[in-house]
Amino acid sequence: MRTITYESLRAEHAWMIVSDQLQQRNNVLAKGISHMERDPAELPMASRLMMLRYHLKMSLRQLTQEARKQALVPEDPDRLHQQWLHVHQLFFLLRQIDTELKRASHENDTLRSWMDSLEGRVYRSALVHLN
């Protein structure tokens, strides 16, 4: 049986927030791909967004598998540290995705204007919640 502490709840909360943010980025990428695919001239950017989404999904899959392996170890005294490590790895992935989306939108007017039309709350930074 796992002991629940304030610190483990904080780590779980941080994980939920960064996971939600990553899911939002996945949705933004999916919608962005669909938007860019409407214009044949924008297919190279749609392809770039597809690669970014693939990177997001594969990285998440790998990090999740690693976290599940760690969770199988009964009463690991280092579990809290491992939880925070996982949260920070997810946050690093989020920052990578944000950086690449920002770079792509600076290079492409269609993508930039579409992203500017999104609600600001969908694209907020999780940093505030993780501190």
Is the pLDDT assigned to residue 124 strictly greater than 70? Answer: no
Q: Which two tokens stand for residue 13?
A: 């909360």
Can you tell me the mean pLDDT for 101-108? 96
Percent of the chain residues past pLDDT 70, beyond the cut: 85
DSSP string spanning 46-97? HHHHHHHHHHHHHHHHHHHHHHHHHHTSTT-TTHHHHHHHHHHHHHHHHHHH
Percent of the chain residues past pLDDT 90, beyond the cut: 66
pTM of structure:
0.84
Q: Please give the mean pLDDT across all residues of the chain.
A: 87
Can you tell me the mean pLDDT for 76-98? 91
Distance CA 96, CA 99 (A): 5
Is the pLDDT assigned to residue 6 strictly greater than 70? Answer: yes
Is the pLDDT assigned to residue 40 strictly greater than 80? Answer: yes
Can you tell me the mean pLDDT for 11-26? 94
Is the pLDDT assigned to residue 72 strictly greater than 80? Answer: no
